[in-house]
Structure 1
Amino acid sequence: MNLQESVALVTGANRGIGTAYVEALIQAGARRVYAAARNIDTLKDVVAIAPDRIIPIALDVTNFDQVNIAAQTAQDVTLLINNAGVIGAGGLFTPNSVETAQWEMNTNYFGTLSMVRAFAPILQRNGGGAIVNMLSVASVASAPVFGSYSASKAALNSLTQDIRAELAKQGTQVVGVFPGPVDTAMTEGMPVDKAEPITVAKAALQAVEAGLEDVYPDPVSQSAFSAIAEPLKAVEKMFAGWMPQ
């Protein structure tokens, strides 16, 4: 896929990796970028990057009505970037751990599923296009204290594989991005090496242009996935090293 003259929609575009995606798309020559966030007022700085090419959209991916309105608004999309996500902490045995797990699953898994279902027909009409799903190294081995988040990303990894298979006939490329910790508000306070958001975004877009399916955009991710050729237990032990002291 050639990013020049592409039309993209980025969920969770108001900060972190989402904003980095918008910046990278503009730099790559995208004709139009729909920048989506739950509160449209939080997108003012993002729109200012290129006011003539960035269109803000109010979108909560867990709200079916808003997803459908976004799809009706952005009928020219050729690249869907499912970046919106949430993360809780505290482990599986805190008083609100079940509610946290439901919140994470509703956003990270069901929200992405809703977006893909709404936009797959649009991508088909526009020649196939591409979908980018933001996964995590935690998709393949649970990170301590972030167990339900890891479970939601593992579910999204499985969903991504199924989407890839089901949309192959319509020529839609499906890319899974598996970063380690990224320097965003989500990882504030985590004492680990973190990748820069723009590094992750650019690596993902390069994969779209190269026709790749999986992206390991940082040293932590690359280390984790190189170890998967060995017993998966090795990855589990590596993540266990992230356990707060």
Structure 2
Amino acid sequence: MPTLNGAVVLVTGANGGLGTHFVHQALERGASKVYAAARNPREWGDDRVTPLVLDVTSPESVAVAADIARDVTVVINNAGASNGSSVLGDLSAARELFEVNFWGALEVTNAFTPALRSSGGTLLNVLSVLSWLGIGDAYSATKGALWQATNTQRIKLAADGVHVAGLHLGYADTPMTRGVDAPKLDPADVVRSAYDGIEAGSYEILADELSRQVKAGLAAPVEALYPQLARSEA
């Protein structure tokens, strides 16, 4: 089974709400080193944490980071963004969102695949319950695309001994969801579930009841997921 004990972990978006917990909890579980990657990395006050410059939208930045962190055994694709964009109308903002949430995550995975293959390591893609629900508009589209890419990565890399997992969750109480008026998860609990899932060898980690309910409902008629589509009785 995969383990965090003795692992060398890379966390993208390490300065964010979930990212900070991914860094700290990796150390709590025995990681020997954590690369805390961000566009503008900060100091962590811990010799086991190595700040790393990484802009997921820049292939050059990703390549430089991968050359530095060749000893990585666990990659946490956590960097993400939300800009309120739509798949209808002007697509410029939606394209920008895909650069971060989809293409950026793929760039990171591809750059660190040699390290993961050599170590028989683990990749975790941070997805969302909105991977399965279109109510998040362009954000849902980016996470839905990454969900499908995660399935492909899982199949392609399994023969190389690389474990690929996806994390689905509802709204977590982070800066990204500050304007969302809905119940929110404690980010520490989300990360705990993610690492528990990794160490259990899970391929799909559902961090909350909402994610479990939506996943279970995917086989139902589409009106069950989107009640606004239900026809009113004449």
**Is the structural similarity TM-score above 0.5?**
yes
Contact 2:86–2:94 (Cα < 8 Å) also in 1: no
Deviation for aligned residue 1:90: 5.6
Find the counterpart in structure 1 of residue 47 from structure 2. 52
Q: Distance in 1 between matches of 2:37 and 2:210?
A: 28
For residues 182-205 of structure 1, give each alpha carbon's deviation from its aligned partner in whole angstroms, at most 9, with x where no partner exists.
111111121111111111111111
SS of the residue aligned with 1:176? strand
SS of the residue aligned with 2:124? strand
- Aligned with residue 131 of structure 1, among 107, 111, 123: 123
In structure 1, what residue type is equivalent to 2:51?
P
Which residues of 2 match residues 79-228 of structure 1 at below 5 A? 79-89=74-84, 91-92=86-87, 97-126=90-119, 128-143=120-135, 146-228=136-218
Q: Distance in 2 between matches of 1:173 and 1:237?
A: 37
Kindly report the root-mean-square deviation, in angstroms, between the aligned alpha carbons of the 2 structures. 1.6
SS of the residue aligned with 1:199? helix
Q: Distance in 1 between matches of 2:226 and 2:108?
A: 31
SS of the residue aligned with 1:167? helix
Deviation for aligned residue 1:222: 2.2
Tell me the number of residue pairs that the alignment of Structure 1 and Structure 2 aligns. 228
Identity of aligned pairs, percent?
Answer: 38
Deviation for aligned residue 1:156: 0.3
Find the counterpart in structure 1 of residue 4 from structure 2. 3
Find the counterpart in structure 2 of residue 14 from structure 1. 15
Deviation for aligned residue 1:91: 4.2
Deviation for aligned residue 1:233: 3.4
- Aligned with residue 70 of structure 2, among 55, 72, 75: 75
Q: Distance in 1 between matches of 2:50 and 2:227?
A: 44
TM score, norm. by length of structure 2: 0.92
Contact 2:132–2:215 (Cα < 8 Å) also in 1: no
User: Residues 65, 228 of structure 1: CA spacing in aligned structure 2 closer, same or farther, 3 A cutoff?
Assistant: same
Provide structure 1 residue ranges, at least 5 long, that are not aligned to the other structure: 241-245
For residues 19-61 of structure 1, give each alpha carbon's deviation from its aligned partner in whole angstroms, at most 9, with x where no partner exists.
1111110111100000001112xx23xx13xx11000001101
- Aligned with residue 233 of structure 1, among 223, 228, 232: 223
SS of the residue aligned with 1:170? coil
Tell me which stretches of 4 or more aligned residues in structure 1 moved more than 4 Å. 90-94
SS of the residue aligned with 2:102? helix
In structure 2, what residue type is equivalent to 1:35?
A
SS of the residue aligned with 1:4? coil
In structure 1, what residue type is equivalent to 2:33?
R
TM score, norm. by length of structure 1: 0.88
Find the counterpart in structure 2 of residue 65 from structure 1. 60
